[in-house]
Chain A
């Protein structure tokens, strides 16, 4: 009898233990944060804005006709001396427990970035819920305003900006990469800039769909830091140059004039590229050679010229190389000579090559880098020209 009862008692005990977790959080008890924005308020405190998903809006597939379109997210802000304190204040406004695990983007307001970001990133690395893969970006204006802008295609601005970042049109930086750039010597951080644009000004129409819907979020340039403070911006074109220098995969198009018809353009889609930076010395001063190799496909031609000859292709490749070099030089000039920061990691390249010299100059690197000569060599190749050899009905 005893032998029969014992397993039953065990089964009951195990069943009660297995059925629940200690600190479980059901889906209807948590507020899922999609995006976080951090600003500096007027008193100099942190203003934390979270974009929280509204589950019912995600659940319904299509909006009923005539029915009010339900907002997919709600944005709540609170102030505090630290992020955690602001989160506690948020908890008074959000009836659910805040869950950071799905936060896609950490958006830092311009003022906060100017004051210093080290004091705010710590929370997102120390806490176990936020992911180290979330995108970090700096908003022109306030992060709060940015998060409150809705997106039409995606349900929320966080998702929109997360997907935009994933397309790698800008210099996309994950939280961990950002942390590394902050921590390591020989490189200064740079992250994607984002902003809100008001398309009403552009198109002039405002009657139909409500003026508010015309506000959009977009990726806009790159924010440059010295240590942990925002010092300046690169424009979209210069961001390309930054990407080339960083050896990040550049996806995009280069448009160059046709060799013989300067006002007609040719567009070349970049397929792959590689960047190598070599450090050296000239008269004991650091000297860098940047070798960029790029391959692309011609995808559009405006002019009448027949480009499908080796000579003209070569001429086109040279123009392409020139165009890339121009952008790289622009980015380098802007970051180095205007803002005086080494966001490209030239210091690291130098450190790898000359480790004992590096120790002496590492503290004054920004000044030394400003005087360093950088030689940029671009080698461009065009591989494919599409389904046409030349424009039909033009010269042979």
Chain B
């Protein structure tokens, strides 16, 4: 299915980063800060540590079954029947999270940028563009992502300017929040980092399967760094009370920039890079879902089902939440448990354990 598409290590790292980051920078800081308050950055650091283990889990699965997608090796490990069931669950999760992402983007655009445009327009347009990217093949997505990495340079620069407003004392005192809350706050960034498991749905595209541990480690660390900087920035500029009350604090953070009362109103640069990053994220989840669906039906080519899956994603993204309040509640209270326990650790761990037991028995 994926024979012709090959990406190198650097592209893979950037891909995993952009598979996780774009939506995280929108809503993660506020959610984490509202749980872990002033110590949200500790949550981010802890999450990175656990996230590394998630990455190791995924990469050991990928390494044990070179050239196979998640769906193929789950079938091999669990047998035809259970493998299909797990695969179908996983496809559901991919489609669901993809429509969550599409919705999140639509909500952001219509709240912060274009309030008069119906949200359906954003949902449909973003899905169409991602469908085009998916149809063009994975390599196209990876190369486009590389281009986006250049644009990220501008983003980083703008972000750096916004750090002129920081006050370090806003982070003090450390460990003011109860340890249980800090740990609870860890779940939110962790649920994003766990998305690294999506990578296993298209792992055969890797040029070199041996380097997959390095790739996941590297990308999780970089994502963790971004989370850390994002949360610390919001904390040091707005403080925990205001930062947690905001919908998109990083957006406000950039709006606060006023350099020499001359460089101002840079929010549209951030907005631009978020939209592009959002398309990449949607594209990757979309692609993984398409691979899964074509595996389910035993198709030799995934291209014919790109549009049908897209229609499901758009329809689901319209129906999934009544409004932004429901989505926020879902992302904060349901999503971390739902995706971490079942899809990001549960299923991969199950696969890993069964494959280890099978191996043991084989060699014994």
Chain A residues with CB under 8 Å of chain B are: 21-23, 128, 131-133, 166, 176, 179-180, 183-184, 348, 351-353, 355
Q: Is the CB of B242 within 8 A of A23?
A: no
Q: Is the CB of A179 within 8 A of B242?
A: yes
Given contact pairs A351-B173, A352-B173, A128 touches B258 in the complex (Cβ within 8 A): no
Besides the contacts A128-B113, A180-B242, what 14 more A-B pairs have beta carbons closer than 8 Å?
A22-B121, A23-B117, A131-B255, A133-B255, A176-B252, A176-B256, A180-B238, A180-B239, A183-B239, A183-B241, A184-B239, A351-B176, A352-B169, A352-B173
Given contact pairs A133-B256, A176-B252, A355 touches B176 in the complex (Cβ within 8 A): yes
List chain B residues, Cβ under 8 A from A132: 252, 255-256
Q: Is the CB of A128 within 8 A of B242?
A: no
Q: Is the CB of A166 within 8 A of B261?
A: yes
From B113, which residue of chain A is reached at the shortest CB distance?
Answer: A128
List chain B residues, Cβ under 8 A from A180: 238-239, 241-242
Q: Is the CB of B239 within 8 A of A23?
A: no
Q: Indicate if B269 sits at the interface (CB-CB under 8 A).
A: no
Q: Is the CB of A128 within 8 A of B115?
A: yes
Q: Is the CB of A184 within 8 A of B241?
A: yes
A-B contact pairs, 6 of them (CB 8 A): A133-B258, A176-B256, A180-B239, A183-B245, A352-B169, A352-B172
Chain B residues with CB under 8 Å of chain A are: 111-117, 121, 169, 172-173, 175-176, 238-239, 241-242, 245, 252, 255-256, 258, 261, 264
CA distance A184 to B245 in the complex (A): 12
Q: Is the CB of A22 within 8 A of B255?
A: no
CA distance A353 to B176 in the complex (A): 11
Q: Is the CB of A22 within 8 A of B116?
A: yes
Across the A-B interface, give the 5 residue pairs with the lowest CB-CB distance, nearest first: A23-B116, A183-B241, A352-B172, A355-B173, A22-B117
CA distance A132 to B251 in the complex (A): 11
From B171, which residue of chain A is reached at the shortest CB distance?
Answer: A352
List chain B residues, Cβ under 8 A from A351: 173, 176
List chain A residues, Cβ under 8 A from B252: 132, 176
CA distance A348 to B239 in the complex (A): 12
List chain B residues, Cβ under 8 A from A183: 239, 241-242, 245
From A354, which residue of chain B is reached at the shortest CB distance?
Answer: B173
Tell me the dominant secondary structure on chain A's binding face. helix
CA distance A251 to B40 in the complex (A): 36
From B252, which residue of chain A is reached at the shortest CB distance?
Answer: A132
From B241, which residue of chain A is reached at the shortest CB distance?
Answer: A183
List chain B residues, Cβ under 8 A from A21: 114
List chain B residues, Cβ under 8 A from A352: 169, 172-173
Q: Is the CB of A23 within 8 A of B241?
A: no
Question: In the assembled complex, how far is the CB of residue B182 from the closest CB belonging to chain A, in whole angstroms?
Answer: 14
From B244, which residue of chain A is reached at the shortest CB distance?
Answer: A183
Question: In the assembled complex, how far is the CB of residue B268 from the closest CB belonging to chain A, in whole angstroms?
Answer: 12
From B117, which residue of chain A is reached at the shortest CB distance?
Answer: A22
CA distance A128 to B175 in the complex (A): 34
Q: Is the CB of B173 within 8 A of A353?
A: yes
List chain A residues, Cβ under 8 A from B115: 23, 128
List chain B residues, Cβ under 8 A from A131: 255
Question: In the assembled complex, how far is the CB of residue B175 from the closest CB belonging to chain A, in whole angstroms?
Answer: 8
CA distance A133 to B169 in the complex (A): 21
Question: In the assembled complex, how far is the CB of residue B118 from the closest CB belonging to chain A, in whole angstroms?
Answer: 9
List chain A residues, Cβ under 8 A from B245: 183
CA distance A184 to B114 in the complex (A): 32
CA distance A297 to B121 in the complex (A): 62
List chain B residues, Cβ under 8 A from A128: 111-113, 115
Q: Is the CB of B238 within 8 A of A176?
A: yes
List chain B residues, Cβ under 8 A from A22: 114, 116-117, 121
Question: In the assembled complex, how far is the CB of residue A158 from the closest CB belonging to chain B, in whole angstroms?
Answer: 15
CA distance A301 to B121 in the complex (A): 70
Question: In the assembled complex, how far is the CB of residue A337 from the closest CB belonging to chain B, in whole angstroms?
Answer: 26
Question: In the assembled complex, how far is the CB of residue A385 from the closest CB belonging to chain B, in whole angstroms?
Answer: 30
From B175, which residue of chain A is reached at the shortest CB distance?
Answer: A355
Question: In the assembled complex, how far is the CB of residue B152 from the closest CB belonging to chain A, in whole angstroms?
Answer: 24
CA distance A321 to B239 in the complex (A): 33
From A102, which residue of chain B is reached at the shortest CB distance?
Answer: B265
Question: In the assembled complex, how far is the CB of residue B178 from the closest CB belonging to chain A, in whole angstroms?
Answer: 11
From B251, which residue of chain A is reached at the shortest CB distance?
Answer: A128
From A174, which residue of chain B is reached at the shortest CB distance?
Answer: B256
List chain A residues, Cβ under 8 A from B113: 128
List chain B residues, Cβ under 8 A from A133: 255-256, 258, 264
CA distance A348 to B170 in the complex (A): 9
List chain A residues, Cβ under 8 A from B258: 133
CA distance A351 to B241 in the complex (A): 15
CA distance A132 to B237 in the complex (A): 12
List chain A residues, Cβ under 8 A from B264: 133
List chain A residues, Cβ under 8 A from B176: 351, 355
Query: Which residue, of A21, A23, A166, A183, has the highest number of chain B Cβ atoms within 10 A?
Result: A183
Question: In the assembled complex, how far is the CB of residue B314 from the closest CB belonging to chain A, in whole angstroms?
Answer: 19
CA distance A21 to B172 in the complex (A): 45
From B243, which residue of chain A is reached at the shortest CB distance?
Answer: A180
List chain A residues, Cβ under 8 A from B173: 351-353, 355
From A101, which residue of chain B is reached at the shortest CB distance?
Answer: B265
CA distance A348 to B258 in the complex (A): 26
Question: In the assembled complex, how far is the CB of residue B240 from the closest CB belonging to chain A, in whole angstroms?
Answer: 8
List chain A residues, Cβ under 8 A from B172: 352
List chain B residues, Cβ under 8 A from A184: 239, 241-242
Question: In the assembled complex, how far is the CB of residue A346 from the closest CB belonging to chain B, in whole angstroms?
Answer: 13
List chain B residues, Cβ under 8 A from A179: 242
From A353, which residue of chain B is reached at the shortest CB distance?
Answer: B173
List chain A residues, Cβ under 8 A from B242: 176, 179-180, 183-184
List chain A residues, Cβ under 8 A from B111: 128
CA distance A321 to B114 in the complex (A): 54
List chain B residues, Cβ under 8 A from A166: 261
CA distance A131 to B173 in the complex (A): 30
CA distance A224 to B173 in the complex (A): 26
CA distance A166 to B262 in the complex (A): 13
CA distance A131 to B256 in the complex (A): 8
CA distance A128 to B115 in the complex (A): 9
Q: Is the CB of B169 within 8 A of A23?
A: no
From A166, which residue of chain B is reached at the shortest CB distance?
Answer: B261
CA distance A352 to B167 in the complex (A): 14
List chain A residues, Cβ under 8 A from B241: 180, 183-184
Question: In the assembled complex, how far is the CB of residue A235 from the closest CB belonging to chain B, in whole angstroms?
Answer: 27
